[in-house]
A and B are shown apart, each in its own frame.
Chain A
Amino acid sequence: MAMAGSLPMPSAPRTTIGGRVLIAALAGAAVALIVLNRAYRTAEMALASGILNVVTSSGVYLAAKRQTVYFGLGTDHPFGLQMSPECTSAFLVLPLLVVGAIMIGLRPRIAGRVLGALALATIAVILVNQLRILTLVGLIDWLGTDRGYYWGHTLLGSMVSIIGGAAALVMFVWISTRKPKAER
């Protein structure tokens, strides 16, 4: 009647050299996010200034050394936003890298899916942070410096981070753990 468990099942292969290199690379990337955090934040603000240049008509200036972008230049309300270590997306990517490395270490055959999920989740986290900056800029433009910054930074910014973070996490888990097409 019952048949499961009657035969010993072969174990999946343990981590290969390629897998170990991949794990080391992911761990290295996680460490780099801390060590090279300033450079990462500069890149984030460079991206933000590029987007702002496209979506706003006023002047935008990137002060790369201070990880700051100035916008509204040439208007009555110019404003500068600095990317601090508390606001960067780097540390939201870091746990994903660690979890991804652990998953590849434990089940090497899913490395491709985990890397794909990592790439998409990382892009999502970066875009969410850009959306947060854009929301802040929009609210400052709409409600003025004090009220716009107050609502944009404290409440709406946090909500964007939480909802965006949750979406990125679900996407990462869903893509990295779903069965291959052949097994579905």
Chain B
Amino acid sequence: MADTQTIAAAAHALDRPLVIGGVELGSRLIVGTGKYRTNQVMIDAIRASGAEMVTVAVRRVDLDRTKQEGILHHLSPDEFFLLANTAGCYTAADAIRYARLARAAGFNEFVKLEVIGDESTLLPDVLATVEAAKQLAGDGFKVMAYTNDDLITALRLEDAGCVAVMPLASPIGSGLGVVNPYFIREIKRRLSVPVIVDAGVGTASDACVTMEQGVDGVLMNTALAAADDPVRMAHAMRHAMIAGRLAFLAGRMPAREIAVPSSPTSGMLD
């Protein structure tokens, strides 16, 4: 798509690349690989999104072969940077176990750390997340930690040695967009490591608004996988990410609650 390439080239010329833990990424969008209707739709949508880093989960091999086979049959580690997650873990010990299993697969030392604290909201257990982050960072992992939109936790995760801190926009899979833009901005202002907003983006405008807060990137899964047309939505997200990022870098005009004319007020006819 020439149009998409032109836009990507403009973004490249007007922005600097995102670097996480020493890895340079050509896209500020990171996408998940879960919940797609088919593997073909997944791969088409990921390619359309322009994302270079993709998340995967660690699960038991199904020895009865009744369910889907491993994702590496569909997704080449040569084409995408694999970011394994610890989704589904409710304790620091479990998250560390899953992270180590993921690293043993031999691709990289990155992990998307996720320690869930509550089944109905899927909100993170931030105490367990900080504890796991410390241990994993000490063990040589490059930890990208999913967390609440809480500044103090974000600072603790940075201190723990995380290479990126990933506050939620709103709960996982909710599609509610950024519910607290002020907290997200404050986290970005205070941290030195990249801030990636992870979870809650529902549609393109959400991605755009998120990037306008000045954060370094967005991680999403359901917004693409659960769209009626994931490939179209992936194109939209790619554009929205670039739009939001460039709008942030451009610096928006001040918002006012009074009208100010755009045309000269002088030179009017009698």
Chains A and B belong together in one complex: no
Which residues of A are interface residues toward B (Cβ below 8 A)? none
